Amino acid sequence: MKKVHLICTDATKTGVRAREMNLYRRYFDLVADGRKTIEVRVQYPNLRNLTAGDHIRFVCGRDDALTRVKRVTRYRTFEEMLDAEGPEKVNPTSPRDQQLANIRRIYGPEKEALGVLAIEIELVDAPTL
């Protein structure tokens, strides 16, 4: 059985307010293990004000992982982002060309045209209760 880090992000327990973002299991596990340090999103209006210091709670089913945003960088295309950030930070288990294909299956050309965000994240230690 794979070990998954569960981090409680209930603001009443941690005092941390966090955006919630869903992730597919394969990406969630990489975030929860601290191996995925760049999350890729398109620049939807609700993400335009995302900045360093914000918190994101990644959710997959009943599992969640609390992260802190270290940096947000905007790019025109997914290719430009992968070249600048390095594919090993986005998904250390998959080659660049496969990552590009996977990202484009999730986000079609009309979404990529909104602009691409590379969100550098770090895990937040589980609170001591």
Q: Please list the pLDDT of the chain residue by residue as tens digits (129 residues).
A: 333 444 444 444 456 799 999 999 999 999 999 999 999 999 999 999 999 999 999 999 999 999 999 999 999 999 999 999 999 999 999 999 999 999 999 999 999 999 999 999 999 975 544
**If we measure between CA atoms, which residue out of 80, 78, 82, 54 comes closest to residue 68?**
54
**Phi, psi at residue 66, to the nearest 5°?**
-90, 130
Return the SS3 of 31.
Answer: helix
What CATH number should be reported for the domain holding residue 68? 2.30.130.30
The predicted model scores a pTM of 0.85
Closest by CA to 67, choosing from 106, 16, 116, is 16
Number of domains the chain contains: 1
Are residues 40 and 75 in contact, defined by beta-carbon separation less than 8 angstroms?
A: no
**Structural domain that includes position 40:** 11-123
Asked whether residue 100 is domain-assigned, the answer is yes
